[in-house]
Structure formats: structure tokens, C-alpha cells
Structure 1
Amino acid sequence: MIIWCLVRLPLLILILVLGLVMSSCTMLGLNYASLEVDNKPAPSPAIEAQALVNSSQERAALMEKFENTLYGPWPKGMPVTWGEAQIVSDNILNGKGVLKEMPVTVGEGAGARTFFLVVALPKGEGPFPVVISETFSSNCSVFPEYPVTSSDGSVCDGSDMDGIVGALVGRMFGEYIALAPLDQFMEAGIAYASFYGPDLVPDSREQGPVVMARLGGPTEPTGTLMAWAYGFSAAIDALTAETAIDPDAVSVMGHSRYGKSALIAGVWDRRIGAVVAHQSGFAGASLSRSHTGEGLQRMAKTYPHWLAPEVQPWLDYLDELPVDQHELLALLAPTPVLLGNGRRDVWSDPNSSFRAAMAASAVYEAMDLPGLPEAGMQQDFRPSAGIAWWLRSGGHSIVSEDVDTFVAFLQAHLSDSSRRGSAVQNQEKRVDSAQ
């Protein structure tokens, strides 16, 4: 037994270290989220649904509160440039699609940042709807079979997720925490684009603020969640050069921290036709006033660079915070949004995410869009709902079941992009008649 332990000591130490590190991101699925909502407090501040629907000033004022309190400024006017798309492979997945990539630069001057946007297009007649994903892993790990460009500008040669560490991460957080689920999207006729978030702004409390301050635009972001959200917007700009992409059927998708940024992008960039925010947690879809799971206070102290510095004085007074996340979801309307959750992902607090969605549902319904049913947290998933909330078993991860759900939701909303256009036009009419 002693010899067995000694031989495997390096692996056992690695597993222990990984477990300790990962525990700051997730509770590793050791508990179940409560399904009881009737005994929980209603989200606060209360939403005035008709005011948000009928007044552009009300909406703008609420967005400003989020900027001033939580996320920092949207970097409006930040320059975005991109290079010509180059074909990486014209025969991916045995003829199902074509893989391209293009450099996208955000900012100007010495501090500008460049990331490579990799785009998989289905074979056939376009234009195609597209989902843009922001990833935890580099392009080398997301597209390990193809010679895409790595963060340092060289051609990828294998995956960063090879070996024991990659296998353990995949085991803990699902195979699609790194890999791009190209097969499902190509089969559905949806183009898939992705980029590595830290290539835009590093996920570092030391480096992140320095990089954001040097981007060189008229307004720099002060929180990386907002900066990563602007990355989605920059990717949309670049995709306008692709005639194979339907500009009226653009969606964004993110998991965990990038789910937070996907929600933010959907509020500040109204070109986005649908949002998938999977297990976005605090500063995403979960209520800041909740005391379950990670909590906003711990998150903001562990990752202070994610949010604007202005949030720090509020962390000991969360019940007095001027905004909460049900209001962010309300600001998304009429953009369809899917909020994915795991029953064992207590860390991201599915219970308060559901209560936030229920509160925001009133705004969708006021815009004549289907909101959440009254069946509670175990409701059947409805892909066509304007605000859709979904709970599966399991923990904080991205697995095949998740991807199938994302695809069903996007097909329901992007296959007829005119529906969202009509909803936006109806809202504009309401605002015009009310003012």
C-alpha cells in the first residue's frame, strides 16, 4: 500500500491541488439546489414593467445604475478593426462545414488587443444564423484537430488540454468546457464562432485593469466582465464582413463568467438576437442579495477585476445595492434569453436565478412575449419562451445535454429572426406613443 501511494504521489498531489483550486469556482456538485421558492423573499428593487417597456429614459437610467454600481462603463466608441477571413479547413466534420479565422483588434495604439475569431460555417446555401461563444480555453484546445492560430500568433500544434490535467478538467467540467461542439451546430445549420476571452483582456487581478486602461478608446472598461462583453460586440462587427452570416440572426453564448458577459452584451448591444447564459451565477442571472452559494461578496473579493471598483463599498451592504440581477434580465427584453442551470451547481445558486427570471418575466409578457410558466423550478423546458429557464441534473459543466438544449433554443428563435424584429418595433411604438 505504501509503495502504491509513493508511485502515485505526484498524481495524488495534482488531484488534491486541482480540487482546491477548482473549489473556488464551484462546489463540485456535493449538494443539491433547493427547489423551494415560495418561502424566499421577492427580488428587490421591484421592477416597474410598464415603465421599462414604455420609456427609453427609464431603461437608460437603469443601465447607467448597473454601470455606476457593478460593471463599469460600456466602452462605447472603442475602435474595432479586423483582417480578412482565412480558410483553415474547407472540409470539417467529413464535409459538413468550412472553418475560417480572422484577427479582430479592439482599441488603438500600443495598448490595442487582438484576438482570433474562429468561425465554422455549415456547408450549403446561406446566410446562416450564428452563435458566438467566448471560451475558457485557447483556440488550440477548442479546435484541437485544426491548424488555427494560437494566442502567441503561431499555428496550433495539439491541444493545451492534452494530458492528465486536461482529462481531469474535462471530467469535472464536461467535455465542452474546452472543445467546440461543432457537430451539433453544423447539423442544425447554425454557424459557430468563438474566441478566447483572455486574449482580449487577461483574467488577472493584476494584468486585467492595466490592459483595460491602455486600450486607447474614448471610454475604457473598468471591469473585465464588461470588457469581455464588448468582445462579443467586436466579434459581431467582424462578422458583418461574412456574407454567409445572417446579420439579423446573431446570438451570443457563454458559460459561468462568460455567461455573465453574454447577458451584459445582450443588454448593451441590441444587434444580438438571442442570449444563452449557462450557469452564469452572481453578477449574471443570480440575485446579489442571495446568501446561497458563492455570493456576490466572495466573488467580487476573489475576482475584483471582474467588476468595477465602485462595487467594493457595497459588498458589506448588499441589501442596499441599488440594482439586482432580475433587473438586468428585464433590460434584455425583448431579446430571448436561455438561463441554463445544474441541480448540483449550488455555487451559482439556481434558486435565485429562477426567482430573478420570474421577476423579469413580467417585462417579456408586457411586450407580448411568452414568459416563464407558473410550474416552478421543475417546469418543462420551453425553447420558444422569450425568457427560458432550464434545470438539469449534474454540476457546473458543459455537457452534450446542454448543447442540445442550446441548439433547440436557438433554432426556435433564430430560424425566424423577423419575430424579434417585430417585438423590437412594437416596443418602439409603445415608447413613441407614451412620450
Structure 2
Amino acid sequence: MMSRYFLFIFLFFLFQDFAFAQYTPNYDESKVPVFKLPDPLKTFNGKKVKSVKKWETKRRPELLDFFTQNMYGEVPGELKITSYDVLEQSNNALNGKAIRKQIDLSFRKDNNLLDFTILMYLPKNTEKVPLFLAYNFYGNHTITNEADIIISEAWAADYPSFGIINNQLTEQSRGVRANRWPVEKMIDAGYGLAVIYYGEVDPDKDDLSDGIQPFFYVDDQQQPADNEWGSIAAWAWGLSRAMDYFEMDEQVDASKVIVFGHSRLGKTSLWAGASDTRFAGVISNNSGCGGAALSKRRVGETIWRINRSFPYWFCPNFKNYSKNEEALPVDQHELIALIAPRPVYVASAEEDQWADPKGEFLAALYASPVYKLYGKKGITQNEMPEVNQPIQNTVAYHIRTGKHDVTDFDWEQYIKWANTFIK
């Protein structure tokens, strides 16, 4: 009897692995399932929301709670900055154009210790500056070639062509991602930039024991509870702690901090903006499933696929909707709507079909009625714009030529949009 049981278990997992290996994403619009998109201005019990007050007191709280409990996960406690330290500062960064600061934020609780470093570039001769805040994937030292940028000692995914071997960041990767961060353009436009290596807050691997989550484990707990935070919510938590610091920094206009993210960090920027209303604006670049793309379309990456590939990004409850999107009483347009009335920019890339550009556009479109409730202009056209032809309203969108990346074209649009709606 026992041998049959183990045979069953073996065959079950064998079938699961086979199914995963055989997964073929859908990119054919004719094969998108028929679905009914939930109305962001109708409560779960069917009542129409007709005023900002009803949105803010009834609909927004219930949507935020659903996304918290069933997708990104609840932060199970509060932890403030224990201390901060200026590790390095230069008033002649970027060939004399900018101020550079490297700030270490420390967090302590019981026997737990966590630090992460914010690299900041600020325009000179300006007292209070608006700021783009973002994570990077391979360390602060990768965003410019400046020799004084500290190399993080945190775990990193191996990337041999960047010189990252045995999960260690190295000098070889200095400046390798500078193409994604046109810092001087931001400085020239009057904006600062603050970046954090996301692996210092929570290493991007299926092991929620070496980031911020263990600070809140109780008794012999080893993993977050079913409704508690995965890595995306942990990374969003880190962005909010950076905001705590900005509110103390006299050189930063904390009322004008725009949170930016690409790919999985675009998912993070959306959740950070939805869950922390202090952010003045949100930019989601190629964020796809679990970010700006509508889940019910099942185009490109799906809930099932993302939960299999990255089971630690979301809370365990999100797995209830793997291959079960029709049961979701929400969709990602309502995540975007949670940011209202603050400006939000959703961007896609023509060749990044995995992220479902049309689903990202539609989410921005269907979030727009909530912005209209506030008297803000969202997406007003039902058809996607032409490639490289941005729609720049309080809700903005563009699809550009190229692949899954961050380009100068993207940043040129973000700066132009921020000049109009935030600065």
C-alpha cells in the first residue's frame, strides 16, 4: 500500500514537471479566453461607486485588502530605520555636475540585522529636488562607471559575462548597466536619482530566510504564512523605508518622489505605489504578469507559470488562482487604479510579448475611470497607440520598438511626463 502511495507521488510530480517543460505561452489574440473584467467602480457586493469619498472609504480599501491578502502578501509587522550612516559623499560627481551620496540604512530587531545602501545623485545648487527612486538588479556599482561606488557584498544571481560568479558581485561588473540609467539626463532635467540593489533587501531566490522576512517570524516559523509577504512585497517595503529616509533628507523633496521599476521590479513599483500613498508617481516598465498586464487574458506569462518559476515572489494564497484566473474577483487594472489620483506611467516594448503589451495597455485604459472620478485624464482611446507614440496624461502609456529592456527613449518620456504631472 505504501509503495503505491510513493508511486502516485512520483508520477504526480513527474507529470507536473513534464507539464511545466511543455508549457507553450499564448500570443494569439484569437485564443485569448472570453472573460468579464471586474469594474473598479463597483464594490464586491455590487454597489456602484459614484464619488471620491465612496472610492476612498469603501472600494479602495477592499481592493487593497484583496491584493494584500491574496497576491502580494501582508507585511506582518512594523519596523523603522534603526540608524543611517553616510558612507561616502562627493560634491563633484559626474565630472562636477552632481552631488553623490551613499547612505546605509540599518534595521535591527532581536538578533536580526539588515542593511541596505542607497546610492543618490542630486543636482547641484538646488535645495529640494524631485527624485526618481528605483532598484537595480546587479548592484549600485553597475549603474555608472564611477570608481567610488561601493560594491555590495549581498548574494547575487550568477552572471559570468558580468563577472558575477559564486553569487558574488565584482569589480568586473562596474558600469555594465549604465545604458539603463541616463543619470546625467536626469540631473540636467533637475531630478535626482536614488538606486538600491534589491538583493540587499531580499535576495531573489526561493529561500525566504535571508532577507527581511525573518525579522517577523515567530516561534519556529520558517516561511511566511499563506497571506504574508513574498519578495515583491518585501522589495516594496524597502522602497517605503527609503522614503522614510528621504523625509529626513533636507536635499530631497519627499513630496515628489517617483518610484520606478523594470520587469519584476516594475511589479514592485506598482505595489509600492498602491500600498504607500507617499509616492508622488509610479512608473512600470515592461512589468507583465503580476504587474501591469491583465491576468485574465492569459497571454505570455500566466499566473500558473509565474508561480511555478518564482513561487516566492507572491504570497502562497496567489497559487489559488494558478490556471484559475476566471475565479479572480480583481485584475491588474484595479492595482493601477489604487494609485489614483497620483500619476502612473505604464510602458511596454514591441518585442516583449511575454509581458503582454496589449494587456498592459488595457489595464491602464480600464484603470482610467477611477482617475476620471478625481477629474484626472487617463487613457481615452480604446486602441493601442502606434509604436513610439506615447500617450501622456495623468495615466500615461507607450509601446516602443525593441526588447525587454530600459532605453533612453523610455527615460526621455518619463522625464517629459514627470515635468508635466509631478515637477
TM interval, short-chain normalised: 0.7 to 0.9
Gaps of 5+ in 2: 1-20, 43-48, 166-174, 219-223
Match of 2:193 in 1: 192
For the residue of structure 2 that corresponds to 1:388, the secondary structure is strand
**Over residues 40-62 of structure 1, what are the superposed CA-to-partner deviations in whole Å (9 max), with x where a residue is unaligned?**
85662222163583222321111
**CA 193–366 in structure 1, closer or farther in 2 if over 3 Å, else same:** same
1:376 and 2:371 correspond: no
How far did 1:163 drift? 6.3
User: Equivalences for 1:109-124 in 2 at 5 Å?
Assistant: 109-124=110-125
Equivalent residue for 2:343, pick from 315, 319, 336: 336
**CA 310–252 in structure 1, closer or farther in 2 if over 3 Å, else same:** same
Match of 1:12 in 2: none
8 Å contact from structure 1 (residues 52, 58) kept in 2: no
8 Å contact from structure 2 (residues 230, 315) kept in 1: yes
**CA 279–107 in structure 1, closer or farther in 2 if over 3 Å, else same:** farther
**Over residues 354-405 of structure 1, what are the superposed CA-to-partner deviations in whole Å (9 max), with x where a residue is unaligned?**
111111011101110011131621154243x111111101110111111111
1:356 and 2:355 correspond: no
1:262 and 2:269 correspond: yes
1:286 and 2:293 correspond: yes
Match of 2:8 in 1: none
Match of 1:312 in 2: 319
**Over residues 405-428 of structure 1, what are the superposed CA-to-partner deviations in whole Å (9 max), with x where a residue is unaligned?**
12112222221xxxxxxxxxxxxx
**Over residues 122-171 of structure 1, what are the superposed CA-to-partner deviations in whole Å (9 max), with x where a residue is unaligned?**
11122110110111111121233231222228xxxxx9975699xxxxxx
Q: TM-score, normalised by structure 2?
A: 0.80
8 Å contact from structure 1 (residues 71, 308) kept in 2: yes
Match of 2:243 in 1: 236
Paired residue type of 2:390: F
8 Å contact from structure 2 (residues 144, 178) kept in 1: no
For the residue of structure 1 that corresponds to 2:257, the secondary structure is strand
How far did 1:196 drift? 0.6
8 Å contact from structure 1 (residues 176, 399) kept in 2: no
Match of 1:171 in 2: none
How far did 1:111 drift? 2.6
User: Equivalences for 1:194-233 in 2 at 5 Å?
Assistant: 194-206=195-207, 208=208, 211-216=211-216, 221-233=228-240
For the residue of structure 1 that corresponds to 2:71, the secondary structure is helix
Match of 1:45 in 2: 38
Q: Matches of 2:407 and 2:36 in 1, distance apart?
A: 30
Equivalent residue for 1:400, pick from 403, 408, 411: 408
Bigger drift between 219-228 and 123-132 goes to 219-228
% same residue: 28
Q: Matches of 1:299 and 1:229 in 2, distance apart?
A: 18
**CA 103–257 in structure 1, closer or farther in 2 if over 3 Å, else same:** same
How far did 1:217 drift? 8.3
8 Å contact from structure 1 (residues 330, 360) kept in 2: yes
User: Equivalences for 1:421-432 in 2 at 5 Å?
Assistant: none
For the residue of structure 2 that corresponds to 1:112, the secondary structure is strand
For the residue of structure 2 that corresponds to 1:93, the secondary structure is helix
User: Equivalences for 1:383-394 in 2 at 5 Å?
Assistant: 383=392, 385-394=393-402
Aligned-residue CA RMSD (Å): 3.0
**Over residues 14-42 of structure 1, what are the superposed CA-to-partner deviations in whole Å (9 max), with x where a residue is unaligned?**
xxxxxxxxxx9xx9xxx9978x89x9856
**CA 64–32 in structure 1, closer or farther in 2 if over 3 Å, else same:** closer
8 Å contact from structure 1 (residues 294, 347) kept in 2: yes
How far did 1:344 drift? 0.8
Q: How many residues align?
A: 370
Match of 2:11 in 1: none
8 Å contact from structure 2 (residues 288, 360) kept in 1: yes
Paired residue type of 1:139: N
How far did 1:313 drift? 2.5
**CA 43–407 in structure 1, closer or farther in 2 if over 3 Å, else same:** farther
Q: TM-score, normalised by structure 1?
A: 0.78
**Over residues 290-327 of structure 1, what are the superposed CA-to-partner deviations in whole Å (9 max), with x where a residue is unaligned?**
22111121011100000001111221311102321111
8 Å contact from structure 2 (residues 142, 177) kept in 1: no
Equivalent residue for 1:302, pick from 281, 285, 309: 309
**CA 314–107 in structure 1, closer or farther in 2 if over 3 Å, else same:** farther
Q: Matches of 1:52 and 1:257 in 2, distance apart?
A: 33
8 Å contact from structure 1 (residues 292, 349) kept in 2: yes
Q: Matches of 1:65 and 1:53 in 2, distance apart?
A: 20
**CA 160–192 in structure 1, closer or farther in 2 if over 3 Å, else same:** farther
**Over residues 192-219 of structure 1, what are the superposed CA-to-partner deviations in whole Å (9 max), with x where a residue is unaligned?**
000011110010112x355343124899
For the residue of structure 2 that corresponds to 1:254, the secondary structure is strand
Paired residue type of 2:416: A
**Over residues 72-122 of structure 1, what are the superposed CA-to-partner deviations in whole Å (9 max), with x where a residue is unaligned?**
104552222341334433212222101101111345233332110011011
The higher relative CO (CA closer than 8 Å, separation ≥ 6) is in: 1
Paired residue type of 2:215: L
**CA 341–231 in structure 1, closer or farther in 2 if over 3 Å, else same:** same
Match of 2:70 in 1: 69
Match of 1:102 in 2: 103
Q: Matches of 1:199 and 1:397 in 2, distance apart?
A: 22
Higher helix share: 1
**CA 78–283 in structure 1, closer or farther in 2 if over 3 Å, else same:** same
Gaps of 5+ in 1: 1-23, 154-158, 166-173, 416-435
For the residue of structure 2 that corresponds to 1:80, the secondary structure is coil
Bigger drift between 79-88 and 94-103 goes to 79-88
Q: Matches of 1:256 and 1:52 in 2, distance apart?
A: 34
Paired residue type of 1:148: I
